Amino acid sequence: MIRVRRRLAGQVSGDKGLGVAELVVAISLLAVLMTLVVSLVVNVSRTFTREASATDSANVAALGMREVTRVIRAGTEIPVQTSVVNDPVFILAKPTEVTMYAYLDTSAASPKPIMVNFSVNATTGDLQETRWDATPVGTRFWSFATTSTWQKLVARKIIAPTGTEQTLFSYYKSDGTEMNLAAGASLTAAQLRDVAAVQVSLKVQADVTGRAAPVLLQNTVGIPNLGVSRVAS
């Protein structure tokens, strides 16, 4: 019996478990593994956030481009009661702002033109659309309201043109010649009659943190109501 007890005691004392060295190695491996997992999660999260931000900017730019394109394509001259010459489509044409006449509700029994303005809010960077309704004068002439009757946000966080950056609106003649404008300048009354197409460039940064690069959409829009069938690209 004594021999059995001694042998059992010897076996127990020989089973010492993990030593300090083995424990340090295990902790180090676990730390490396946790670092890899955390890095993977952070990278995936950053990529997802960046892609979501880019998608947001692209969606904002696409919606804004669709609205601006729709209005410009519907641009039209307006008959003048005291003249045989119509008023041109464009009332104001700047690199960052445009005011024009357009027929949008063509499905109505008696469609009316509207006066439309697109401009960038200098404080918020948002692209806004403002409209003025028309009142018929006689059978074919129109009088436009002096107070705007409708306003909405078209696209948010437009990057305003600065320096050599792309302008918001570029104007072209029927032969495709660009009508160059200095920053803040507007086309003259004579030049307004020569505008046959407008290139719209929407550069949007919807993410205020700047985690994703801004999205730039460009589209050159002709004005079918002018009877110009083609504008050189």
* pLDDT for the residue numbered 233: 43
Where the chain has pLDDT below 70, the residues are 1-18, 42-53, 106-108, 160-166, 208-210, 228-233
* pLDDT for the residue numbered 165: 55
Q: Are 195 and 47 in contact (CB under 8 A)?
A: no
* pLDDT for the residue numbered 231: 45
Residue with tokens 């804004």: 64
- Cβ partners under 8 Å of residue 168, min gap 6: 95, 96, 97, 120, 127, 158, 160, 161, 200, 201, 202
* pLDDT for the residue numbered 140: 83
Q: Are 105 and 111 in contact (CB under 8 A)?
A: yes
Q: Which of 125, 70, 71, 57 is nearest to 100 (CA)?
A: 71
* pLDDT for the residue numbered 91: 96
CA pair distance 29, 23, nearest whole angstrom:
10
* pLDDT for the residue numbered 144: 92
* pLDDT for the residue numbered 57: 82
pLDDT digits (tens, 9 = 90+) for 80-112: 988 889 999 999 999 989 999 999 876 667 788
CA pair distance 52, 37, nearest whole angstrom:
22
